[in-house]
A and B are shown apart, each in its own frame.
Chain A
Amino acid sequence: KAGVTQTPRYLIKTRGQQVTLSCSPISGHRSVSWYQQTPGQGLQFLFEYFSETQRNKGNFPGRFSGRQFSNSRSEMNVSTLELGDSALYLCASGGDTQYFGPGTRLTVL
């Protein structure tokens, strides 16, 4: 069974721009969660989608948003990028157990 895939793997943006990251979950998984990982804050939960509905949300500003499509694929959007948004963005799918993708490395200049 194929694992969680994320695109793109690397991204460079400038302050003020917006970005969209994509995640394809493991086939059959309906839950998709997003995390931000930085050296200073570690791995932090952003939000979770289940059957196209946001089920849980972490403590991030409204600039961070997401959605899930009927095929369970999910996208995450960050608007008005700030330098501090530079991070590894991880997507995970699963039920009782989460399986993580390889991440998207976002650099904001």
Chain B
Amino acid sequence: AQSVTQLDSQVPVFEEAPVELRCNYSSSVSVYLFWYVQYPNQGLQLLLKYLSGSTLVKGINGFEAEFNKSQTSFHLRKPSVHISDTAEYFCAVKVGTGTALIFGKGTTLSVSS
């Protein structure tokens, strides 16, 4: 069975600093990987996804992620964060097209001035 591990439960950073949120997955077959963001009292918004092709994926709000098959990782990065990036970030995995999305436990990104 597939699973996804988010290595940091909380990441505090200062405004305009770079950030990396780490995500590792386990699956013996090809996977599709996603990052979602959830602002307080809201639903989930898709930041970016890796389906195939280029391993560097660019998303909304200046985020990007790199798929690394040998390390089974899909880390999310942003070169300069804003206060408004404060939110919960979920990495998610899907194996094949007929299965449902499975989420990691989430990483709370707290950006302060």
Answer whether A and B are interacting partners. no
Please report B residues at the A interface, Cβ cutoff 8 Å: none
A residues adjacent to B (C-beta < 8 A) = none
